């Protein structure tokens, strides 16, 4: 089934078409979200939210971009929204703790390990994902879409709704920041 045929069937409310969409894109959506939020349970929840939103809003989708671009856009927006919520909760928890009204501060996991990484590479992967988590949200999204999902600059530009030069700039800064973050790790690792 072509993408255009799939879209037509989705807009008609065809459940088989929706099942095909989910089966085709669920791993990619999950991996994109997982790399951004770095928590498997949250990534699963957000991925489900992505497909719920797609199901509910497919009638409004005009087909001006590919379905995959639309899915990545929704996935990255929802993942970034979750990060913003977590940061707000952390600030509230920090201030609450600072004034003695609560006993705990929410923490993001320090040692995130992507499930797709084999055992020998887990330490390196943990270090890489920790470094990725330090990037700005836009750098993190651009880097994830480019290096983990394999999208080209034009596709990233469509997903993020920014210019090609902005994509180039974000990726350049992300790689530069990762080199700085990881430079000391590898320097210490091999001395």
* Domain count of the fold of the chain: 2
**Domain ranges, residue 157:** 114-191
Question: In the numeric block, which tokens belong to residue 186?
Answer: 């590898």
Query: Is the same domain home to 21 and 74?
Result: yes
Question: In the numeric block, which tokens belong to residue 113?
Answer: 């390990």
pLDDT digits (tens, 9 = 90+) for 18-36: 999 999 999 999 999 998 9
Query: Is the same domain home to 118 and 178?
Result: yes
Q: Cα separation of 4 and 18, whole Å?
A: 13
Whether 143 contacts 132, CB under 8 Å: yes
Nearest to 160 by CA among 134, 137, 129: 137
Exposed e or buried b per residue across 143-161, where buried means at least 16 C-beta atoms within 10 angstroms of its C-beta: bbbbebbebebebbbbbbe
Tell me which of 84, 109, 134 is where a domain ends: 109
Half-sphere exposure of 18 (CA within 13 A, CB side): 17
Residue 73 has pLDDT above 80, yes or no: yes
pLDDT digits (tens, 9 = 90+) for 108-132: 444 555 555 555 566 667 777 888 8
| pTM for the model | 0.66
């Amino acid at each position: 089934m072509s993408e255009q045929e799939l879209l037509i069937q989705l807009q008609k409310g065809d459940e088989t078409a929706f099942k095909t969409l989910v089966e085709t894109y669920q791993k990619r959506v999950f991996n994109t979200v997982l790399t951004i939020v770095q928590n498997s349970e949250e990534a699963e929840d957000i991925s489900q939210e992505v497909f719920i939103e797609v199901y509910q809003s497919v009638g409004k989708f005009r087909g001006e971009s590919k379905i995959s671009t639309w899915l990545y856009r929704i996935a990255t927006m929802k993942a970034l929204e979750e990060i913003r919520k977590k940061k707000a909760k952390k600030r509230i928890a920090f201030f609450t703790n600072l004034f003695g009204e609560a006993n705990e501060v929410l923490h993001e996991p320090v040692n995130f390990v992507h499930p797709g990484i084999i055992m020998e590479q887990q330490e390196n992967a943990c270090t890489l994902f920790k470094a990725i988590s330090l990037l700005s949200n836009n750098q993190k999204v651009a880097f994830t879409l480019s290096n983990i999902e394999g999208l080209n600059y034009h596709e990233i530009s469509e997903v993020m709704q920014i210019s090609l030069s902005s994509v180039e700039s974000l990726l350049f800064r992300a790689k530069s920041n990762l080199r700085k973050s990881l430079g000391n790790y590898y320097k210490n690792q091999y001395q």
